[in-house]
Amino acid sequence: MPSIVSVAEAIPVHVLKQDEAMNFARDLFSDSFHDIERLLKAFHNGQIEKRHFAKGLDWFKANKSFAERNQAYIECAVELGTEAIENCLKSNIFLQKEIPYNEIDAIFCISSSGLATPSIEARIMNKLPFSQHTKRIPIWGLGCAGGASGLSRAHEYCLAFPHAKVLVLSIELCSLTFQRNDRSKSNLIGTSLFADGVACALVTGDQADRRSFQKMETVPAIIATQSTMLPGSLDVMGWEVRDEGLFVVFSKDIPTIIASWLKPNVTEFLLQNELAITDLHHFIAHPGGKKVIDAYVQSLQFDPEMTKISLEVLKQYGNMSASTILYVLKRFMEIGQAGEYGLATALGPGFSSEMLLIKWEE
């Protein structure tokens, strides 16, 4: 089966501690909510300590046009995306030798936080020496589910082309969509939660001669995938596109939906692969927020220890939309042992889920 051989991050340089973000939100939103101090508790209840951003805090203190924000997205996405690819193909953790750029057969570029045509991977291919025949598959609009979906689509590509080496590049610069004049509760909660992050994964087919470049004794092979959409749930999560740009849609019902909807999907998916929830060693969850993680535990009746890594990523980086699950996956790849099963899952606009069943193999 196709395997995930390397994962690397490109972490934006600007760091914002949660107390700083809370003070920024207090100044901005205090005139809009009479109970602002109660609402600001979300900044600490979410257990996020710091987040990383493509721009410093002062950049957000002045109004920016949609064009200005999107141009910043393009520039930062190319810079950080280039760094993530370089880190992935030169990883000292996962690779015993560098992978030449011209050996990459396809790039799946995942993003929902900005617009670019030519797309971001095309711009990166003008900076790094990829083959001019490398296939480009930009995927937009999957939000937090995008990283898991990108891995699933790369899996399918490598099933069709078993010699292939494929990159899944996730670029989410959520902060650059920030709307200063949106005084909605959704925007306030989003200000407490979302962050910027970029990551890249290398997925290879069965016949890609992994042993010549793979450093780890075992890597996660993708056994199966499942995409599921909940009908009639378009208003749960996403963007509302207006003249000023992208406005966040973020329903308070998300944890409740997860608690009731996720377990039947997971159970059915595992049953199709002759497994049960108790057979899982690792739960590679996109940490959408503390309440989302709690809903995972409640729904699937996991030991809370199963979500420890996801919570640590949330604590140190916040919700980086599609990129977050790749940060979580990287940490699991450093500890996985042969024969262990893992379930990777993320939820996004639609309202939808993407799941991957993986098994560590030599």
Domain ranges of the chain: 3-212, 219-361
- Which of 109, 144, 158, 174 is labelled catalytic? 144
Is residue 135's pLDDT more than 80?
yes
39 vs 307, residue with greater confidence: 307
Prior bond of 118 cis (ω within 30°): yes
Gap between the Cα atoms of 126 and 137, Å rounded: 16
> How crowded is residue 322: how many other Cβ atoms within 10 Å of its Cβ?
31
The pLDDT, as a whole number, for residue 179 is: 81
Confidence of residue 300 (pLDDT cuts 50, 70, 90): confident
Confidence of residue 140 (pLDDT cuts 50, 70, 90): very high
96-115 per-position pLDDT tens digit = 999 999 999 999 999 999 99
Rounded percentage of the chain residues whose pLDDT exceeds 90: 64
Q: Which amino acid is at 321?
A: S
Confidence of residue 294 (pLDDT cuts 50, 70, 90): confident
Q: Which amino acid is at 31?
A: D
Average pLDDT on 219-241 reads 86
Rounded percentage of the chain residues whose pLDDT exceeds 70: 100
The pLDDT, as a whole number, for residue 253 is: 72
Average pLDDT on 190-210 reads 93
The pLDDT, as a whole number, for residue 15 is: 96
Strands 165-173 and 106-111: parallel
Judge: domain 3-212, CATH 3.40.50.300: no
Confidence of residue 203 (pLDDT cuts 50, 70, 90): very high
The pLDDT, as a whole number, for residue 280 is: 94
Confidence of residue 9 (pLDDT cuts 50, 70, 90): very high
Gap between the Cα atoms of 21 and 217, Å rounded: 42
Average pLDDT on 147-153 reads 97
Is residue 231's pLDDT more than 90?
no
The pLDDT, as a whole number, for residue 240 is: 78
The pLDDT, as a whole number, for residue 37 is: 86
Return the C-alpha torsion angle 85, 290, 231, 148, nearest 10.
Answer: 20
Answer whether 3-212 and 219-361 agree in fold. Answer: yes
250: phi then psi, degrees, rounded to nearest 5: -150, 100
The pLDDT, as a whole number, for residue 119 is: 96
**174 in active site:** no
122-133 per-position pLDDT tens digit = 999 999 999 999
- Domain 219-361, CATH: 3.40.47.10
Encode burial over 271-291: b for 16+ CB neighbours within 10 A, e otherwise: eeeebeeeebebbbbbbbbbb
Least confident of 155-169, 283-297, 303-317: 283-297
